[in-house]
Structure 1
């Protein structure tokens, strides 16, 4: 089976570097040409100003494929985040919701998704944040689909434990509803503390996960994410790219 997925990188990996031209050059240096831009590198409340961010990446041959992760509460000003994505030609937004406002946010997100033709992927962020467990995700996606689906962060999925947090099982369970993937990997200490490692070298069964995505017809946004080595992430990110390409075929 061909598991090939066209992937980029999350800009948060380069959070030590605030200049987008420098970040774009680093994206190319690790062998990629796509990026999901986070709030470290852009003001999503200023769509006019965001045009300059788009141009900066385009000049280096880097496409912005998604924005996020942003927390949506259903406020009118959040429409600007869709406007920024549209300006970049992105078709995905990575999102968090909050327990006190998801009933307000979901109808608004659905309306904006239809207006702009941009899908929303709910980003799982482990056991300490709303939307990190399958039962909650089932409820949110049930309320918000088909405009709202899932953005699987593979490391944070695993953080809730192997019984409920298997990325391979999630790929099977949510087939057709997976709009984005953050390819990230953790190892865990006895205390439960996690450590970022090169994708595919920790607890993530990368080939099996990629195969499950392919079997489910995954057609969404994909980026690698590595949060360690903040001041010099490029060597590890290059190894992430190599690991991904070896696993994806």
Structure 2
């Protein structure tokens, strides 16, 4: 796989220089396809990093098992598929209805060599998850979903969850903030210093919970303002394109989004 300028092309110094963020793709963009085919799509557009999701129907070779219930042999197979394409999976969108299920997520993450889990844990599990995060030496990124579909729709709820829990961080989902009628720049400012990844999408309307997902840069989201704020914060985390539309043929859309962000980051 030939690495693109997205990985190597950042300037390192001074205001206005490119950020050393880590660009990639949320595999949920390709959720209509099994794991190996989804990786082929990410590889074909020179993505570097991918984020998995726990309910991915992985396809042949995984015996109908889902993440995080893979055997050690199946995890080895998953690593081999990634390595063959030169792709790196450093995070997983996870969920759990009990402490035991969250422990299984952390155990999978440890075996896979992930850096963090991403999700929307229920309040009654926060303290248990913090203890697991300490035990496994891993961060947990709180993901914001749209208003009405998750407790975590506003950055203030993420700030609340992080209080007294040093392993909790934030996953900034730009599109869901805008769908919920929030100003994404102000949201980024609220979470400054705590953001470890972004989910990037675009919409055809702001403040509309039924807004349609569109190609990044063609909708209502002011990405130049967002990139300017991220540069001010010297953001260096993961940036995942999450295209939630045109499901069966959106690879061109994802490629466009990666290149669009790269241009803004120069």
Fold equivalence (TM over 0.5): yes
Of the three residues 155, 160, 167, the one matched with 1:134 is: 155
Offset of 1:45 from its aligned partner? 2.4
For 1:84 and 1:191, locate their aligned partners in 2 and report how far apart those are by CA, in whole Å: 36
Q: 2:255 aligns with which of 226, 235, 238?
A: 238
Distance 1:220 1:112 in 2: 22
Matching residue of 1:11: 27
Q: For residue 124 of structure 1, what is the aligned residue in structure 2?
A: 144
Shift in Å at residue 219 of structure 1?
A: 3.2
Partner residue of 2:80?
55
Q: 1:56, 1:154 → 2: CA distance?
A: 30
Asked whether 1:215 is paired with 2:232, we answer yes
For structure 1, the 5+ residue unaligned runs are none
The runs of at least 4 aligned residues of structure 1 exceeding 4 Å deviation read 189-192
Provide closer, same or farther for how the CA distance between residues 2 and 43 of structure 1 changes in structure 2, counting only shifts above 3 A.
same
State the shift of 1:208 in Å. Answer: 1.9
Distance apart, 1:123 and its partner CA: 0.5
- In structure 1, distance between residues paired with 2:152 and 2:208: 23
Contact 1:175 1:217 in 2 (8 A): no
In 1, distance between residues paired with 2:208 and 2:178? Answer: 15
TM-score, normalised with respect to structure 2? 0.83
Q: Secondary structure at the match of 2:249?
A: coil
Say if 1:25 and 1:138 are closer, same or farther in 2 by CA, change over 3 A. same
Structure 1 pair 248/212, CA: closer, same or farther in 2 (3 Å)? same
Q: Is the 8 A contact 2:180 2:207 kept in 1?
A: no
8 Å contact 1:74–1:106 — kept in the other structure? no
CA RMSD in angstroms, aligned pairs only:
1.9
Aligned pairs for 1:135-150 (under 5 A) are 135-144=156-165, 146-150=166-170
* 2:191 pairs with 1:166: no
C-alpha contact (below 8 Å) 1:72/1:96 kept by paired residues: no
How big is the shift at 1:120?
A: 0.7
State whether structure 2 residue 108 is matched by structure 1 residue 88: no
Give aligned pairs, total.
239
1-structure distance, mates of 2:208, 2:188: 27
What secondary structure is seen at the aligned counterpart in 1 of 2:163?
helix
Q: TM-score, normalised by structure 1?
A: 0.88
